[in-house]
Amino acid sequence: MKEVKAPKRPLIYYYCIVLLIILLFNMIVTPMLSQSQVTEVDYGTFMDMIEEQDIGIVQVEDTQIIFTDKAETTVYKTSPMEDPTLTQRLHESGAVFDRVIEEPVSPLWTLFLTLVLPILIFVGLGQYMSKKLMEQAGGGKGSMAFGMGKSNAKVYVQSTKGIRFSDVAGEDEAKESLWEIVDYLHNPEKYTQAGAAMPKGILLVGPPGTGKTMLAKAVAGEANVPFFSISGSEFVEMFVGMGASKVRDLFRQAKEKAPCIVFIDEIDAIGQKRSSGSVSGGNDEREQTLNQLLTEMDGFEENTGVIILAATNRPEALDPALTRPGRFDRRVPVELPDLAGREAILKVHAKKIKAAEDVDFHTIARMAAGASGAELANMINEAALRAVRSGRTVVNQSDLEESIEVVIAGYQKKNAVLSDQEKKVVSYHEIGHALVAALQDHSAPVQKITIIPRTSGALGYTMQVDAGDKYLLTKEEIENKIATYTGGRAAEEVAFGQITTGASNDIEQATKLARAMIARYGMSQDFDMVAMETVQNQYLGGDASLACSPQTQKEIDQKVVELVKTQHAKARKLLEDNREKLDELAAFLYEKETITGEEFMRILTGGEQK
Ligand code: ADP
Ligand code: ZN
């Protein structure tokens, strides 16, 4: 996508040039101007003029002698010579010593040249430049000096090269709702004849990196109309009032170019609930900007052809005024891709690289559960980089699998040296997770176990991959998951009788699950189906806030502890009962450092290895 931007040089740049010109002017031209009216003569002529008594005023200096003729019409100058009687003879010729020779350039003229003219040039140029900048920014008169307060909305020139819906993989529901907009922009009469009005604003909501920006661009691309794009945070600028003026400007430009798409990314930056009394000073400014946006949206008629798309991942934080009918009254969810969607996204991005014939995108998509479109695009790129690093031009399956781990767990740490004992502990820990998972029903199969440290700080990890997407979890499945998280530490206890710090992430995850079970999913008998907490940012990790009395909170905490304890004990029991397998698998992992799920299962079920 090509982006055409007005070439803007900072104004200071032009001022510097003008300043330089003026300096040069003062240093070279002005002296030349004044000197050009002084006639330089040789010493002989000077002597002759003394003889003829034709000297008017004279000034004898160290390096030059300046004099006039008797009528004082011309100024002469000559170089001095060793001449002791000069003064005497000059005096006799009637020359005048006590008057200063007037500059041939009049003082008024000098004043004009050195002071007035530069200022005129300065101001003139400044005005010219600012006008020019405003024109370039697409504006006319009105706005503040120097083009400040002009919106930075970038105009994307649409051509057949523009992004199409076909570039956005998955997201079929979103595309369907947006297709109507494209159809309307192609054929507005069809809608106006039926008396149907297009929504003025459409809100794309979903987690980051799911292709909201891409979809908005695709709408413009499909409809072949200009695409204005600005981020909500760009409105909130350093100067108060600037945001509102930017909004005004954006809409003026958009109306000129209608039909067109205006895309406001991160609209929550300006559209936050006004009541939420933030203490920050920028609040007023944000409110002004929001009010201006609301005014503009109300201001233009339906069916003008200006369609406003906005994206946010915090829809619950938006001011209700924004989502009222007549404003952003349509909401299009753009969710994280499902298995099929992930595979499609991988394939779209894989077109940019050279992938080996046998690459299995279905498996990759399965491994990358929960990844957003942006993360998947990143994974493909990481895989290509990995291929280049190992001197290949074709990307193979292992590149892709490794790149998933890179995106999920960070790079392999090349020079982290674990002591022998540490390596042993980590082996037991990871096998503990895998074994507990495998010994329970309804656990996702183990895909890979590794004890190669990652830059993210993980010393090893066990990757479990569900066969398909899971939308519903039973109580038992969650309990098993908790048990699996505790399995790492349980293995350390069983094998070494002591525990390490290696389980901090496990503890966090297990606690989260246990708490959700009780407070959110209503899976404890005592609380039944009463919601104890509500999810806050469902698209940004889903922080929960408690909504219950302190006493209930205490009970929840107790229940969480109980739950995790029970599962921990269960995991330890499982491992104790399978101590031989634990030892065997841990030794195998210790030696190999990375083992696949198949190797793991072979040892677990058969044990014919070695
Ligand atoms: P958002 O605006 O939702 O944060 P973007 O539209 O900026 O996400 O997406 C970032 C990048 O992720 C895109 O440039 C694209 O490469 C990739 N991407 C995200 N979703 C998809 C998708 N559904 N199909 C193809 N690529 C996608
Ligand atoms: Zn662990």
Ligand 1, atom 17, residue with closest C-alpha: 374
- Look at residue 575 in the predicted model and tell me its pLDDT: 95
Average pLDDT over residues 264-273: 85
End-to-end CA distance of the chain: 58
In terms of DSSP H, where are the helices of 8-71? 11-24, 30-35, 43-51
Query: What atom of ligand 1 comes closest to residue 215's alpha carbon?
Result: 6
Active site residue 103: no
Which of 381-395, 447-461, 540-554 has maximum average pLDDT? 381-395
Residues 451 and 430: their CA atoms lie apart, in Å, by 8
Q: What is the pTM of this model?
A: 0.61
Average pLDDT over residues 178-194: 87
Collapse the DSSP code of 441 into the 3-class scheme (helix H, G, I; strand E, B; otherwise coil) and give the result.
coil
The answer for residues whose C-beta is within 8 angstroms of residue 567's C-beta and 6 or more apart is: 479, 482, 483, 486, 510, 514
**Which two tokens mark 13?**
């740049």
According to DSSP, residue 501 is labeled: G
Ligand 1, atom 15, residue with closest C-alpha: 374
Ligand nearest to the CA of 337: 1
Cβ atoms of 158 and 221 closer than 8 Å: yes
When comparing pLDDT for 75 and 18, which is higher?
Answer: 75
Cβ atoms of 397 and 381 closer than 8 Å: no
Residues 428 and 540: their CA atoms lie apart, in Å, by 34
Residues 565 and 510: their CA atoms lie apart, in Å, by 10
Mean pLDDT of the chain: 80
When comparing pLDDT for 495 and 324, which is higher?
Answer: 495
Residues 30 and 105: their CA atoms lie apart, in Å, by 10
The answer for residues whose C-beta is within 8 angstroms of residue 480's C-beta and 6 or more apart is: 437, 440, 441, 442, 443
Distance 485 CA to ligand 2 centre (A): 6
pLDDT, one tens digit per residue, over 197-243 is 888 889 998 888 889 988 998 888 888 888 888 888 877 765 667 77
For residue 334, the Cα-to-chain-centroid distance in whole angstroms is 19
Within 6 A (CB) of ligand 1 lie 168-171, 208-214, 311, 345, 348, 373-374, 377
Query: What atom of ligand 1 comes closest to residue 170's alpha carbon?
Result: 23
pLDDT level of residue 383 (50, 70, 90 thresholds):
very high
- How many CA atoms within 13 Å lie on the side-chain side of 108? 0
Distance 377 CA to ligand 1 centre (A): 8
Ligand 1, atom 5, residue with closest C-alpha: 211
According to DSSP, residue 336 is labeled: P
- Look at residue 290 in the predicted model and tell me its pLDDT: 85
For residue 511, the Cα-to-chain-centroid distance in whole angstroms is 33
* Catalytic residue selected from 343, 405, 430, 533: 430
Is residue 579's pLDDT more than 60? yes
Distance 326 CA to ligand 1 centre (A): 28
Quote the percentage of the chain above a pLDDT of 90. Answer: 18
Distance 571 CA to ligand 2 centre (A): 13
- Look at residue 67 in the predicted model and tell me its pLDDT: 83
Is residue 432's pLDDT more than 50? yes
Average pLDDT over residues 466-473: 74
Peptide bond into 550 cis (omega under 30): no
Is residue 26's pLDDT more than 60? yes
- Look at residue 11 in the predicted model and tell me its pLDDT: 65
Is residue 30's pLDDT more than 70? no
Average pLDDT over residues 456-480: 80
Query: What atom of ligand 1 comes closest to residue 207's alpha carbon?
Result: 3
Ligand nearest to the CA of 205: 1
- Look at residue 417 in the predicted model and tell me its pLDDT: 63
- Look at residue 239 in the predicted model and tell me its pLDDT: 63
pLDDT level of residue 437 (50, 70, 90 thresholds):
very high
Ligand 1, atom 12, residue with closest C-alpha: 374
Query: What atom of ligand 1 comes closest to residue 204's alpha carbon?
Result: 3
Residues 319 and 273: their CA atoms lie apart, in Å, by 4
pLDDT, one tens digit per residue, over 104-156 is 556 677 777 777 777 888 888 877 777 666 555 444 444 444 444 454 544 43
Cβ atoms of 460 and 430 closer than 8 Å: yes
Distance 8 CA to ligand 2 centre (A): 54
Ligand nearest to the CA of 426: 2
